[in-house]
Structure 1
Amino acid sequence: MKPFVLSFLATCITAFSLHASDHVVYEPAGEAKGKHIVLLSGDEEYRSEEGMPMLGKILSQRHGFKCTVLFSLGADGTIDPTAGGSLSHPEALDSADAIVMLLRFRHWDDATSKRFEAAINRGVPIIALRTSTHAFNGYPKDSPYAAWNFNNNGGWGRKFLGETWVSHWGKHKVEATKGIIEAANANHPVLHGVSDLFANTDVYEAAPPADAVVLVRGQILQGMTADTPPASYTKATAAKVEQDVNTPMMPVAWVRVVKNDAGTENKILATTMGAATDLANEGLRRMVVNGVFWGLGLAVPEKADVSIVGDYNPTMYGFKGNKAGLKPDDFVLAN
C-alpha cells in the first residue's frame, strides 16, 4: 500500500479515536470561570443521561464553566442506565470543583469510588437531584464503601444530603408536583429568579435534618399538569403519623453544609425533583444553576440565563423506555 494512503488511513483512525469518547466535555463559552463542573448520570428511571448533558451545555455555554458529563455504559460502549457498576472516565473527578449528580443504586469499583470519595473529602459542593438520596447500593459487606449503601441506615444519601429513599408521598406517575417556595427562606441566593416551579414527577417523602435550610416544599397536585388543583387526602408517614398529604407539604429542595470524613465541609443543594422531564421547567433549571454558583462561593446571578442550548426533548421517565443505543458522542455540541 502506498505511503500516502497509509498516512491518510492513520489520520482517519486518529480523528475517529479523538472524537469517539466515553464521556462529554463542554468547554466554556464567553468569559471562563476557571472552574470544572463534573456531572454524573447513572439511574435506571429518570433519564439522567439526557438531563445531565443539557445542564452541562447551559453551565458551559451560558456561564463559562468547563463541564464534563460521565455516564453508565454497557460493554458495547452505549449508555446503559442499568449498568450500576459503571462510571465512564472517573478521572474527571480528580479535578472537579463541583459535582452535579443524578444517581440511583450505583456500586462502582474501588478505584472509581475512591476518586469520588477524594472529591468529597476535598470539600467540593454537591448539587444532588431526585434519586441521589439513594445514590448507592450493592457494595459487598466487606467493601470499604459498604457504608454508602442506602439500606445501611440511609447510607451516603442520609449522611451527606440529609435524607435517603423513604416513599413516594405523591402517587407515582399520577400526581405531579408544584414547588412552593418557603417564605422564610425566599431570599436565599439559590432562589434568585426562581419561580413557577413544576415537576411531573411526584413528591418524595422527606425529612431533612435540623441543620438543613428548606427552600421549596412540594404541593401534590391531583393530576400531571401544572393547572390541576392540589390533592387532599390523608396518609401515614414513615413515622406512622397520619396527615393530609399537603399539610404540611414535604420539603423538595434544601441546602445544608456537612463536615466530611476528612474534616472539610461540603455545601449541599439537594432536591427530590430533577428527572429529565422536570428539567424542562425553567425555574428548576435556574435553581440548579444557582446551586452551582452558591456552592462554589461565586456571586449568584439575580436571574441566571438557563435557556436551553440546542434541542431538548426529554424522554418520559420509567424503568422501561429509555432511548436505546445512545452514546456519549450523541450529546456533543453541534458546530
Structure 2
Amino acid sequence: MRTVRLNFDRCWRRSLLPALLLLLAAFGQALPAVGAGPKLDFRLRSRVETGPASGRYQVVEQAEAWEPAETAIIVCDMWDLHHCFNAVRRAEEMAPRMDQVLKIARDQGVQIIHAPSSCMDAYKDHPARRRALETPRSKTLPAEIGKWCYQIPAEEKGTYPIDQSNGGEDDDPAEHAAWAAKLTAMGRNPKAPWKSQTELLTIVPETDLISDSGEEIWSILEQRGIKNVVLMGVHLNMCVLGRPFGLRQMAKNGRHVVLMRDMTDTMYDPHSAPRVSHFAGTDLMVEHVEKFVCPTVTSDQLLGGAPARFQGDKRPHVVFVIAEDEYKTETTLPVFASSQLGRDYHVSYVLGNAKERNDLPGLGILTVADAAVVSVRRRVLPDAQVAALRAFVSSGKPVIGIRTASHAFAASGNKVAPAGHTSWEAFDAEVLGGSYHGHHKAGENVKVEPSPTEPPHPILQGVDATKLVGHGSLYKVSPLAKTATPLLIGTIPGQPSEPIAWVNAPATGGQVFYTSLGHVDDFADSQFNRLLRNAIDWACGRGGPSVASVDRKVEVSSPEK
C-alpha cells in the first residue's frame, strides 16, 4: 500500500501538478481580475446651479475611469414597432450605432441588459432571459423598485421642460392614419404594436441578459457587483426616465447612473409647449436630466469620432457665452433664445463661475459649436480657455458680440492677469473690428438710424431702425477697422455719432456681427429682437429674411422658470 501511495505522489508531482498549474494560469489569463485591464474612460456632463436659487446652470464635465466588469448598459424599450411612425424612423436610424456601442462595450466586459418592456413572452426560451430569471432575488431591494417613478425630489427645484400631455406623437396626421391602418393589417394593436426588441440590435445568448423587471435588474446589478449603469434607448421623457429600471429609480437609490444622450429620443410634438422643434425638445429633456437626475455621456466616448446626430437635425449649434454683471444678459439671452431660436437652432450656454470671476467652465463645448454669441465683460481667463476661444475664432466660425463683448477679455484698468491666466485685449480689434475706448454718460436714450449702405444688409431686413432705441450708454468705438461695415449709427445730443451695429470680415474668416445694444430694456423692443435674430441667421449662413416675430418681446425672467 505504501509503495502505491509513493508512486501516486511521484506521478502527481511530475505530471498532474504541472498540468494543473498550467491550466490555472491559462484560466487566469482568460479571465483577468478587476483592475487588470483597460478602463472605460468617460466624460460625465452635468449642469450645476451657479448660486443658491439662481435658476441658472453652468455645464460641468468630469472625467471618470470605470471598471468594465463593474459596469452595465441597459437598453430601454428599443421595440420592433411603435404607434408613432416618426419614432420608428428615428429608432431605426439610431439602432445600428447603438449596436456598435453594445459590441464595443461587451467586448470589454460590460454587462449588456436588454429591456424591451412588455415583450418577455418573445424571449421565454432565450438563454439571456433564462439567465436573468435564474438570478437570485436581492434581499436588499429598494422600496418600490418594481414601480414606475414619475419624479424624484431633486426635480422639484425645476420646471418640467416640455408638454407631453398629448402623448408626444409628432407624425403627420395623414401618415399616422396610414401607419395605424398598416399595423392593424399586420395584426398588431396600433396603440401598442411592440412584441420584441428591434432585430437591428444583437442579443448575444452567452453573455447578455433580458429583463423588463426593476426587481430582476436590480438583483442582477447586486449579484454581479455592478456599480455603474448606462441607460440608452427610448423615450427619454417617458420610459428611460420612469421605468422601474430607469434613470430616476437608479439615481434615487444610489446607483451611479448616466444617460447616453446621443443614443436616445423623446416623444415630443412641436405643436405643444414650448413649441420648439422635436430635436430641441430632446435637448431640453437632456438638460433637465443633467440638472436634476444624473450626468450624461455620448457614444463617441466609446466609438471615437463625434457624437451621433439624427439626419433630420439640421440645426446649427449656437453657444451663448455669458459672463457680465451689468445688463442681466444671463437672463435676457436665454429667454431670447427660447422665444426666437427654439425651432431652428441647437442652443447651449456657457456661464461665468459665480465663485471665481475669471473662469468660464464648460467653454470646451466650443469644439462642437457652429457659432458663438459673446456677452462677457472683463474676464481674464485661464490659459486653456483662452486657447479654446482662439481656436474657435481661428477656425473661421461665426461670432456675434453683444454690448460688453467689445471688452470681453480685457483686464480692468491696469490690473495684471493672474498666474496661469491670459487677457485678450485685442479681441475687439482683431475679431469684432471695433476700437472700444469707453462710453458716454448714461441717461440719454440713443437715437438710431441706418447707415447708408447699398444694397441694405440682410441683417436689417424687417428691422425698422426708426423705431429702434438704445437704452444703454452710447459706446465710443470709432474708428472701426477697415474690414468692418457699419449697419446702424447711434446719436445722443451734443456728441459725435458712433456706429452701434456692424459686420466684420476678420483675417481668420467667418461671419462676425457686433452691436453695442444689449441693455436689459433693449430686449423689450421687438425691433432689437429681430435685429439679433437676423444677425444670428446671417452669421450661420441661413440667408433670407428672418422668420422671427417682430411683435414678440423678451420678458426678463429666470431661464429655468
| Alignment TM-score, normalising by the size of structure 2 | 0.43
- Give the Å deviation of 1:9: 6.1
**Which of residues 256, 278, 286 in structure 1 aligns to 2:522?**
278
CA distance in 1, matches of 2:346, 2:251: 28
CA distance in 1, matches of 2:142, 2:457: 63
> Are residues 1:175 and 2:436 paired?
no
- Give the Å deviation of 1:144: 8.1
**Which of residues 510, 515, 539 in structure 2 aligns to 1:295?**
539
- Superposition map of 1:28-177 within 5 A: 32-61=313-342, 63-75=343-355, 83-138=356-411, 140=417, 145-146=422-423, 148-149=424-425, 155-169=426-440, 171-172=441-442, 174-177=443-446
CA offsets, 1:208-258, max 9 Å, x none?
Answer: 1232111000122xxxxxxxxxx2x3xxxxxxxxxxx15xx2110111111
Q: Which residue of 1 aligns with 2:473?
A: 202
CA offsets, 1:107-139, max 9 Å, x none?
Answer: 221222222222111111111011111011346
Segments of 5+ residues of structure 1 without an aligned counterpart are 22-30, 76-82, 150-154, 221-230, 234-244, 315-329
Change (3 A) 1:306 1:19: farther
CA offsets, 1:133-164, max 9 Å, x none?
Answer: 10113463886844x13xxxxx2112211224
Change (3 A) 1:181 1:125: same
CA distance in 1, matches of 2:327, 2:385: 23
Q: Secondary structure at the match of 1:183?
A: coil
Q: Secondary structure at the match of 2:387?
A: helix
Computed over aligned residues only, the root mean square deviation of the Cα atoms, in angstroms, reads 2.9
| Alignment TM-score, normalising by the size of structure 1 | 0.70
Segments of 5+ residues of structure 2 without an aligned counterpart are 1-138, 146-247, 259-287, 294-311
Change (3 A) 1:5 1:127: same
AA in 2 matched with 1:140: A
Change (3 A) 1:185 1:43: farther
Contact 1:56-1:68 within 8 A present in 2 as well: no
More helix by share: 2
**Which of residues 131, 142, 145 in structure 2 aligns to 1:4?**
142
**Which of residues 458, 474, 495 in structure 2 aligns to 1:189?**
458
> Are residues 1:331 and 2:469 paired?
no
Q: Secondary structure at the match of 1:52?
A: helix
Q: Secondary structure at the match of 1:128?
A: strand
CA offsets, 1:298-326, max 9 Å, x none?
Answer: 213255336658x7226xxxxxxxxxxxx
**Structure number with bigger Rg:** 2
CA distance in 1, matches of 2:551, 2:394: 33
Contact 1:70-1:87 within 8 A present in 2 as well: yes
Q: Which residue of 1 aligns with 2:291?
A: 19
CA offsets, 1:152-193, max 9 Å, x none?
Answer: xxx211221122431223x21x11112211133561101010
CA distance in 1, matches of 2:454, 2:338: 29
CA distance in 1, matches of 2:359, 2:507: 28
AA in 2 matched with 1:190: I
Change (3 A) 1:9 1:34: closer
